[in-house]
Amino acid sequence: MKYHLAALICGLIAATPALAEPVQDPATDSCEQSVYVPAPAGYDFTARVDRWGQGNTLPDLTGQEHVGKVYINTLPIFDPADDDENNALYLFANRIHPDTRPVVIKDLILFREGDVIDKRTAEESERILRSQAFLTDAAIRVVSRCHNAVDLEVIAKQSWTLVPEIKAKTSGGKSESGFGFHDSNFLGMGSRIAVAYARDIERNRILLHYDDGNFRGTRHALKAHFEQNSDGFLRDVGYSLPFYALDTTNAWGVNVRSKKALDYQWDLGEEVHDVQSQRKGIDAWIGTSRGLEDGVAHRRIYGIAYEDNVFTATPNTFGSLPPDRRLIYPYIEFQRIEDEYGVGYNINQIHRTEDLQLGRALRARFGLSVVDDPWLVFEGRYFDTLRTRSRKLFQAELNWSGRWNLSNRKVEDTRIDLNLDYHLGQTDDRTLYLGLNVTDTWNLSVEKQVLLGGSNGMRGYPANFAAGRASYRFTAEERLFTDYSLFALFNVGFVAFLDAGQVWQKGAPTTDVGFLSDAGLGIRLVPSKTEKLRVIHIDFGYPIRKVDGVTGGQILVEVKGTL
């Protein structure tokens, strides 16, 4: 009787949740108790990866392990153990910032307690978390192992998400301003809201925005975007179940968009012509896939699209109007994505982990419209990253879009963009970056242009200085990644750059300014406590080749997604 009672008590104790988790003792092949110790607030996410994406990001998982417990560890924005961050202001920010709710993190990862887990699933879950604007970084690690069971810790570094929008941008002699706010983790639920007023070189706008990529934990994506502008409006609403993971087998979506705006034409950095456009569009689609097979995801998307484009003259319309266009077409899209990824840092960000797509990705869409003239509508993208060896990274991207008129057998409004990026690591903190962009068009619609100058490249010249229908731009940058952190808020880097390029008119009624070249210095500030993909660029550019209308250099201050 005593033995039965003891066994019953032991069974109840074993079934009671506790912080003590089993780990395997290799000497006895049995499991003993250990205490789960969460990762500290100052956890270094870059310590476990190679800068160029060649290091393993997780302990080996054979694919035979079952998930025991999943611990969600949301790290605070500021680290109390860091002397630079342990002050009253930063600790107060930790207290008032709404923490990301653990259920939001659990709904994003691709595994649950009791599931069979492999390294690929864990790594893709990491990438999904790192793609969220409300997290500055994320990692998954094994904290306990017993036979074929593992306990996992999901480490999510929170970011300060309620950001006032005070915009003051100067680019190529043109100024922009604005104010408002956005919150990419509203009430800790992972949704994004924004309210703003902005003035740029083309229009004034009032903006309202909401989106949630995992609406109510359903994997559904909801988006609503509204703008009231000085020259029109924009309304964009969509609801979808996307291919949220490589192994996803079904997807669908619908999007409705309406926009009224002035389309501007530029020459020598000045507005010379505009056209009032009103565009309406509806896109509904379903997608299917067999999931991930032999390391590749093949997808097919079947949809129907409606596009209506109407153009009217304004007092500033001095050229011909584009013809109105109406297209209604079914389409099919093919996608092929290779499951090859790496994790690095100090490539396009500063001291932040970066997910590198190392495999090839292809997207190609074809549609047929028989309204008015018969059209074959096409668009697509090809991307690849080639690493020849450590410290070298080569990226290639090709985008294309356009229409083929089946009546006269001519392409119209067709554009191709080729981007080549090469990174050569010289030391642990210096990189030589070389970039080439080539753009060409055929029978481009008259309201569109290819531009260089200011934010469009060629940093020593005014914004939109060179205009035409084809261009190339070469950029060389010497990048310095420092360990300095400005107020513990910004990671700091420096660049020295050289730009060279040219725009070809190809019949466009704009000035041929010929070959352009410039050089300069820049500062890069990467916010370390707010959402990713925001890099503050401060560039001082000076033209090497002098042209009429350009005196002195240019100062550019803007926010981009990468270095």
Q: 349 lies in a domain?
A: yes
> How far is C-alpha 168 from the chain's CA centre?
23
pTM comes to 0.89
Q: Place 147 in a pLDDT band, splitting at 50, 70 and 90.
A: confident
Shared domain for 246 and 153, answered yes or no, is no
Shared domain for 544 and 408, answered yes or no, is yes
**What is the model's pLDDT at position 319?**
77
Q: 119 lies in a domain?
A: yes
Q: 95 lies in a domain?
A: yes
Query: For all residues of the chain together, what is the average pLDDT?
Result: 90
CA distance to 152, 178, 535, per residue, from 120 (Å):
14, 43, 30
Rounded Cα distance between 215 and 213, Å, is: 6
Rounded Cα distance between 348 and 338, Å, is: 22
Average pLDDT over residues 155-169: 84
Residue 16 pLDDT > 70:
no
Residue 360 pLDDT > 60:
yes
Partnered with residue 467 across adjacent β-strands are 451
Geometric angle at alpha carbon 431, from 492 and 41, rounded to 5°: 45
Average pLDDT over residues 455-466: 92
Q: Which residues contact 96 (CB under 8 A, 6 or more apart)?
A: none
Q: 192 lies in a domain?
A: no
CATH label of the domain that carries residue 376: 2.40.160
Rounded Cα distance between 419 and 397, Å, is: 5
Q: 206 lies in a domain?
A: no
Instruction: Give the model confidence (pLDDT) of 480-502 as tens digits.
Output: 999 999 999 999 999 999 999 99
Shared domain for 322 and 435, answered yes or no, is yes
Q: 182 lies in a domain?
A: no
**What is the model's pLDDT at position 105?**
97
Shared domain for 147 and 248, answered yes or no, is no
Instruction: Give the model confidence (pLDDT) of 301-348 as tens digits.
Output: 999 999 999 999 999 888 788 999 999 999 999 999 999 999 999 999
Q: Residue 482 corresponds to which tokens in the numbers above?
A: 């420092």
**What is the model's pLDDT at position 95?**
96
Domain boundary among 158, 186, 217: 158
Name the percent of the chain in helix, strand, coil, to the closest 5: 10, 55, 35
Domain boundary among 134, 158, 182: 158
Shared domain for 146 and 247, answered yes or no, is no
Average pLDDT over residues 141-157: 93
Instruction: Give the model confidence (pLDDT) of 71-107 as tens digits.
Output: 999 999 999 999 999 999 999 999 999 999 999 999 9
Shared domain for 394 and 250, answered yes or no, is yes
Shared domain for 310 and 412, answered yes or no, is yes
Cite the beta strand spans of 387-428 per DSSP E: 392-405, 410-425
Q: Which residues contact 123 (CB under 8 A, 6 or more apart)?
A: 57, 58, 140, 341
Shared domain for 249 and 109, answered yes or no, is no
Q: 163 lies in a domain?
A: no
Q: Can you give the C-alpha Rg of the chain in angstroms?
A: 27
**Closest among 66, 50, 49 to 58, alpha carbons compared:** 49
Domain count of the chain? 2
Instruction: Give the model confidence (pLDDT) of 381-421 as tens digits.
Output: 999 987 767 899 999 999 999 999 999 999 999 999 999 99
Shared domain for 278 and 387, answered yes or no, is yes
| Domain that residue 275 falls in | 242-560
Tell me what percent of the residues of the chain surpass a pLDDT of 90. Answer: 74
**What is the model's pLDDT at position 56?**
62
The answer to whether the CB of 71 falls within 8 A of the CB of 152 is yes
Q: 197 lies in a domain?
A: no
**Closest among 180, 227, 225 to 202, alpha carbons compared:** 227
Q: What is the DSSP string of 316-366?
A: T--SPPPPPEEEEEEEEEEEEEE--EEEEESSSSSSSEEEEE-S-EEEEEE
Domain boundary among 99, 128, 158: 158
Shared domain for 133 and 270, answered yes or no, is no
Rounded Cα distance between 38 and 172, Å, is: 49
Rounded Cα distance between 102 and 106, Å, is: 6
Shared domain for 344 and 447, answered yes or no, is yes
